[in-house]
Amino acid sequence: MLSRLMSGSSRSLEREYSCTVRLLDDSEYTCTIQRDAKGQYLFDLLCHHLNLLEKDYFGIRFVDPDKQRHWLEFTKSVVKQLRSQPPFTMCFRVKFYPVDPAALKEEITRYLVFLQIKRDLYHGRLLCKTSDAALLAAYILQAEIGDYDPGKHPEGYSSKFQFFPKHSEKLERKIAEIHKTELSGQTPATSELNFLRKAQTLETYGVDPHPCKDVSGNAAFLAFTPFGFVVLQGNKRVHFIKWNEVTKLKFEGKTFYLYEKKIILTYFAPTPEACKHLWKCGIENQAFYKLEKSSQVRTVSSSNLFFKGSRFRYSGRVAKEVMESSAKIKREPPEIHRAGMVPSRSCPSITHGPRLSSVPRTRRRAVHISIMEGLESLRDSAHSTPVRSSSHGDTFLPHARSSRADSNERVAVISDEAYSPADSVLPTPVAEHSLELMLLSRQINGATCSIEEEKESEASTPTAAEAEALGGELRALCQGHGRPEEEQVNKFVLSVLRLLLVTMGLLFVLLLLLIMLTESDLDIAFFRDIRQTPEFEQFHYQYFCPLRRWFACKIRSVVSLLIDT
């Protein structure tokens, strides 16, 4: 606390602050902002640097000193939101995934969304069956290295690139085969467009899960997509609610409520700050995708009838307005400087990660890292030395133990079967690094979570802080002290106390109102009867009249003082 006060006092003397924003291609944009600069000013600077007009889909993410993630609010001061020691570090990311990314007007916008979805694919948030995975990876190859050239691309060239958290040699051969035979002649823009069209059809397109627990204490992941609200629990998608069916979102402490027409869903976030972040993300996503125009946006409160809570209002445009505005863009397409993919073997600082040997068909499953299998392998591999991968944000990738036999590896399986959310879970539920899965697997297997096992996810400071914050959320889930039953009892006691306080407050207000009406000149039989009682006369002469004279005297003295001055 003392260090925060000292940092805050030193910051108050400064008038300019240095900000570094990590972009989707892992490059950095550095600028200087004034102390009172709003988030909109920084975002506009960034979009001007990127030559981006369709900017409503994007946002700036940061991590506060308490390791909690946030989206930068454009109507508030940047300095006051970050509350950290400068220089400030943030990340530029897709905040609202387009309902149809292929329908975006400008190529520069499609390219940035392509980079974001490519990151989702690499970090395991975008799931698909093997044939789709091979096609998506081939589109990435075609977009970033061009047509297949036997002179430049020797046998096994696709294995030098990392597209997924883990993949097999068979998948690498399939990627190379599609790249050689089906995509020849496609320009980078065409390949990126085809990639977006394919990714948009997948079940987990646009998912950014938040770790929670249900009322029984089971781990769950909540996510907001362009199409609605999703709950993934265990190995099943237990809920999918379209945006027009969501009637209300509310949070209270660590408890998050979603009201549907027929049911109320209740989940517990690891911290009150995480729950508030979840609630704000839900409010923004519902407003963006559900409303017809931004004038329909209303301020939303998380409070009950008699208690003040958090108030929040989405300040941007909605999806329909963004599409209408995009259709009016008329300018020469801006030049795009694409960051080419670097082969992992050409640079010692880049790794293509562990690969999977062939797995019998009887053991194949939908493309995902199984909670009980993939996570166990990640936990085992955490004891080896992590290697930095600069081609994908310098993610720390654990090497699999070489002593494990190929036939016995219990690792991620990409199969030929169709992916179904009912049979799988998200492999990377929160952060953009795979070691957080180890924390979740230890929670499931009954092992303790180690703070030292939470590694940074990306090379830059902002994304590393993001990963640390999200690892903290998972750790909080692992180390939660209160059982759901105890939390329910505590909530009941608090509700009773609140009810008593509200009742006493109402009675006091009614008593004051009754006294005022009785002392007034209102000629009503009920008040006349009260005035004639001896108890009222005693109260009137002993208490009310002296109190009224005292107030009148004070008011006269204040008025005379104001007149004199």
Residues 218 and 323 in one domain: yes
Give the CATH number of the domain where residue 286 resides.
Answer: 2.30.29.30
Q: What is the DSSP string of 285-339?
A: HHHHHH-SSGGG---EE---SSS---EE---S--HHHHHHHHHT--SPPPP----
How far is the C-alpha of 47 from the C-alpha of 21, rounded, in Å? 12
The residue from 280, 304, 327 where one domain ends is 327
- Residue 25 inside a domain? The answer is yes
Question: Is the separation of the CB atoms in 125 and 368 below 8 Å?
Answer: no
- Residue 358 inside a domain? The answer is no
Residues 298 and 221 in one domain: yes
Residues 290 and 317 in one domain: yes
Q: Indicate if the alpha-carbon torsion angle 76, 80, 82, 87 is positive or negative.
A: positive
- Residue 496 inside a domain? The answer is no
Per the structure, how many domains does the chain have?
4
How far is the C-alpha of 298 from the C-alpha of 292, rounded, in Å? 13
Contacts of 155 (CB under 8 A, 6+ apart): none
Give the CATH number of the domain where residue 171 resides.
Answer: 1.20.80.10
Would you say the pTM of this structure is higher than 0.95?
Answer: no
Phi, psi of 173 (to 5 degrees): -65, -40
Encode the chain (565 residues) as per-residue pLDDT tens digits: 445 545 554 545 568 899 999 999 999 999 999 999 999 999 999 999 999 999 999 999 999 888 899 999 999 999 999 888 888 999 999 999 999 999 999 999 999 999 999 999 998 888 788 899 999 999 999 999 999 998 888 888 888 888 988 878 899 999 999 999 999 999 999 999 999 999 999 888 998 889 999 998 999 989 999 999 998 876 567 889 999 999 999 999 899 999 988 889 999 999 999 999 999 999 999 999 999 999 999 988 876 655 567 889 999 999 999 999 999 999 998 988 887 655 543 333 223 333 444 334 333 333 333 333 333 333 333 333 333 333 333 333 333 333 333 333 333 333 333 333 333 334 333 334 333 443 344 344 343 333 233 333 333 334 445 555 555 555 555 444 445 556 667 777 888 898 899 999 999 998 888 888 888 877 788 887 888 888 888 888 888 888 888 888 989 888 888 888 7
Residues 230 and 188 in one domain: no
Phi, psi of 537 (to 5 degrees): -60, -40
Question: Is the separation of the CB atoms in 371 and 441 below 8 Å?
Answer: yes
Residues 509 and 545 in one domain: yes
Give the domain range for residue 517: 504-564
